[in-house]
Structure 1
């Protein structure tokens, strides 16, 4: 069994204040990590701040915080605050996010994403050590910033990375990489670019149900929502899934949303969505680990006969 076993919080459909009981159980169930996300639901840091007090043994991190939607100094403040709330247990995950979130929802130009991640990472390294930082990088310019609250131990920083350029940056300058939307056999290709040593984390979408058709219906909706985004389309082109997804992308681009869903092959859904009994799901997640994944982060999907807390318990390493 994997040495680490993470969970995505908040859980879908469960109000944040109602997470206290299940989050408090996670360590006893065998979970080691809780990782948030930031799209159009909760912000990345508030669930982690609560979890730091509810579950004092869990490692915590955002997967990921966009580098465009907060200034670099504010990102450093968030990270320093979390490092104080969870000393030695916080990891900062940063990444580009997407043009939809950055430009359409937040009105920030999505320009030179690789450089923005690189420059933000370099700034954060200095700021979280307590240095007074003045930098004029390609995409980040800061004059005379110093944290008032300096972490006793600067938190590790991991980068969202889907393709070779960002994976290699993570290997050179960060403490690991975060990826998602891949099959167990894809891990080897990602690991080859990152190298053997850095931590590799991945969010894995899990639907614990033996109703395969229901799981695939849900999976198709999610796959269409993500794989039509250019960065994910390019990722799966690199992984070798481009031809399989081409009909879906063409139908989507033509405005045929329903037809696009029907054109996603079952084998693609089964590659990217873990489903089956809880025991089968745990075994499938272990395949990712066996192929080189350091930390699986389960994102539990609705669609099973179990309540969300019951599904979390059933998917725990101890079963």
Structure 2
């Protein structure tokens, strides 16, 4: 199993010390560097900026929000960065949620599966460069055919010859239909809160996608890039401190992300068997009682979601994750020393 350094997205200010983190990841045998976006920093620019100092790390997005750019624009970013990096890009895509799509990007959220299929198809057409790029679908018609169209739109193919026609496309997906479609049309999957304890929930959905006519991959060559917090600790007391410190983040995703009526992250916890807990955490969180919400998160749930322990325990848990099909662990690490400690323990 490979390790990826997850830079995430920025907070109120750009992070510090990233160059040292990236250098340590390259030197320590990490496989990839990933960046994310929400409604602030974008996912591509940090990869271009910090990736320029690397020669081996794959450069991935986890995830690019589809509604933030047209499919052709996404493909242009990928084409450009793949040339600049010598063929190291992994395109991670996702639909985000209705609050961001409609509130930030001013785009409709409806029919996310159909939109995903069109975006992936258009990006692949651009990168293949076999001919002018067209799409008959209702979400991203090419050429544009709306009521306000001039009628002068022309199907085009990229001026630049792409370095690779087969840039890997990984999809962020959580629900049953979305996961099945991911297994059908993508090269990999970026799940949220995928753990050895929850892996069985997804097995049938993935198999349904792999079995569809024309499926791009099989379980044998499909990548699963799971995010978790991996921390090597000295003893049980330090582990307990780390577990307690992780609870506010779990509570945020369980109860504070998305609208009360439609929180995709909360639904993941419901499917994991934590419905009553998720309802209570959400009620407290949305009422502003965040500390109380975090206090409800059991230690066992944090321990299932993340890999925290002394070196031997960490290696044992990493092996458990690998046995469920995880090919890459995406890790958010805070210092170059932490990167090296993780690499020493795992790689």
Residue 58 (structure 2) pairs with residue 59 (structure 1): yes
The verdict on how the C-alpha distance between 1:265 and 1:57 changes in structure 2, with shifts beyond 3 A counting, is same
- Match of 1:185? 197
Greater displacement, 141-150 / 158-167? 141-150
Corresponding residue for residue 30 of structure 1: 29
Comparing 58-67 and 194-203, the one that deviates more: 194-203
Distance change (3 Å), C-alpha of 1:256 and 1:21: closer
Matches within 5 A, 1:284-303: 284-300=317-333
SS of residue in 2 equivalent to 1:184: coil
TM superposition shift of 1:227: 1.6
Match of 2:162, SS?
Answer: coil
Query: Does 252-261 or 111-120 show the bigger shift?
Result: 252-261
Q: Deviations over 1:223-252 (max 9, x none)?
A: 122122310111222232323433212333
Superposition pairs of residues 72-151 of structure 1, within 5 angstroms: 72-130=71-129, 131-143=131-143, 144-151=155-162
Q: 1:6 to 1:315 in 2, by over 3 A?
A: same
**C-alpha displacement at 1:63, in angstroms?**
0.8
Q: Which runs of 5+ in 2 are unaligned?
A: 144-154, 208-218, 258-262
Q: CA shift at 1:313, angstroms?
A: 1.2
Contact 2:225 2:326 in 1 (8 A): yes
Q: Are 1:163 and 2:175 an aligned pair?
A: yes
Task: Check 1:16–1:278 CA distance in 2 against 1; reply closer, same or farther (3 A cut).
Answer: farther
Task: Say if 2:237 is the partner of 1:239.
Answer: no
Match of 2:163 in 1: 152
Residues 248 and 291 of structure 2 are in contact (CA less than 8 Å); yes or no, is this contact kept in structure 1?
A: no
The corresponding residue for 1:305 is: none
Paired residue secondary structure (1:108): coil
CA deviations 1:8-49 (Å, max 9, x no partner) are 126989956743343233233121111111124532111211
What is the match of residue 252 of structure 2?
Answer: 225
Q: Is 1:313 the equivalent of 2:340?
A: yes
CA distance in 1 between partners of 2:40 and 2:315 (Å): 27
For residue 298 of structure 1, report the CA deviation from its aligned partner.
1.1
Is the Cα contact below 8 Å between 1:115 and 1:138 reproduced in 2?
no
Number of residue pairs aligned between Structure 1 and Structure 2: 311
Following superposition, the deviation at residue 120 of structure 1 comes to 0.7
TM-score scaled by structure 1?
0.87
Structure 1 residues 232 and 34: alpha-carbon distance in aligned structure 2, compared to 1, 3 A threshold: same
The answer to whether the Cα contact below 8 Å between 2:9 and 2:42 also exists between their aligned partners in 1 is no
Structure 1 residue 105: Cα displacement: 3.3
Question: 2 CA distance for matches of 1:182 and 1:218?
Answer: 20
Q: Which residue in the other structure is 2:147 paired with? A: none
In the TM superposition, 1:263-302 aligns within 5 A as: 263-277=296-310, 280-300=313-333
Distance 1:218 1:149, change over 3 A: farther
Cα separation, 1, equivalents of 2:21 and 2:40:
19
CA contact (8 A) 1:31 1:317 kept: no
* Aligned match of 2:214: none
Alignment RMSD (CA, Å): 2.6
* 3-state SS in 1 of match to 2:229: strand
